[in-house]
Amino acid sequence: MSSIDATTQHRPLRWVALDHWPSIVAALAWLAAALVILYVPNATRLWPMTQGLANLCLAIAALSVLLSVLGRWSPAVAASVRRAGPWWVALPLLLTAWELLTAKWAWLPVPFFAPPQALLAVYLEDWPRLAESLLHSALLLGSGVALGAASGFVAGVAIGWSSHIAYWLHPVLRILGPVPSTALLPLCFFLFPSSWSASVFLIALATWFPVTVLTWSGVASVDPAYYDVARTLGAKPRFLIFKVAIPAALPHVFVGLFMGLGASFSTLVVAEMMGVKAGIGWYLQWAQGWAAYANMYAALLIMALACSGLISALFLVRDRLLAWQKGAMQW
């Protein structure tokens, strides 16, 4: 009993010293970032939202302390804190370096490099235009990706299943697929009735090629023994396609969607720089035209987070549909 009591008595010390040190170090790092933002003199001028950025750092420091306390009673919180601890410490260090190089020491010249509080000011002051641009880009991207993924899936299954269809579609795929969709931008804006339809086509084309190639590869790589067993049991061609070929090709399909989604984002930005009045690409061009580099960096950050979020959502769907392959491909 005495040994158990001794172990219990020393448990808080071990918790403070080992288990939750990342939260404590992170709290100190965020506190140091707030002090740098507030008390180190600026090199050029007082930037807007300086106090707001410092308050945000202090709030995150308080959150780190709270997580370290909650982790003492919650194993799930403790595991999350340990896993995210190094990044939770690195972020305030990077923020402090960014602040020093721009606002405090001006080693990175203005206006080409904006301090972090300038981006925060953009999000607070220009959020209606950013939200409208993000919504417009989401609608355009969703339409193009859906069209390209659907047509690419059908084309890939058709090429992989039928040699007659492959005879006609394979040459088109080899000639048109490797061409960057943005290279067809002038032609598409001439052929299509509106910039919206032209942009949808370009995004669909960027998605279509990888989805088609990977779906075709998945269908073609199915073990012929599966078909033989199904035919022995009386399966018809429709059953072989929908119950054997397509399920076996799904891992390749999701790889194609992953590649197509990345390509569609680059095409989206280029397409929105011509002939549209809203969207992330349009916002980037507008910010560059007015030398509003803080707005440009704010839009780039939103675009990066949106792309990462969509790919993460795609992987969640993949892990749910292909539970037997969960963890085989990470994002």
How far apart CA 257 and CA 260 sit, in angstroms, is 5
Q: Give, rounded to a whole angstrom, the gap between the first and last alpha carbons of the chain.
A: 48
CATH of domain 127-325: 1.10.3720.10
Q: Take residue 222 and report the two structure tokens written for it.
A: 């199915």
Is there a contact between 210 and 263 (Cβ–Cβ < 8 Å)? Answer: yes
Residue 266: which H helix or E strand, with range?
helix 246-272
Is there a contact between 203 and 148 (Cβ–Cβ < 8 Å)? Answer: yes
Q: Is the pLDDT of residue 213 over 60?
A: yes
CB atoms within 10 A of CB 51: 13
Is there a contact between 254 and 318 (Cβ–Cβ < 8 Å)? Answer: yes
**Which pLDDT band, with edges at 50, 70 and 90, does 179 fall under?**
confident
**Which pLDDT band, with edges at 50, 70 and 90, does 3 fall under?**
very low
Q: Is the pLDDT of residue 152 over 90?
A: yes
- Percent of the chain predicted with pLDDT > 70: 91
- At residue 154, the pLDDT reads 94
Ranges of each domain in the chain:
2-113, 127-325
**Which pLDDT band, with edges at 50, 70 and 90, does 324 fall under?**
low
- Percent of the chain predicted with pLDDT > 90: 40
- At residue 80, the pLDDT reads 80
Q: Given the structure tokens 């970032």, which residue do they identify?
A: 33
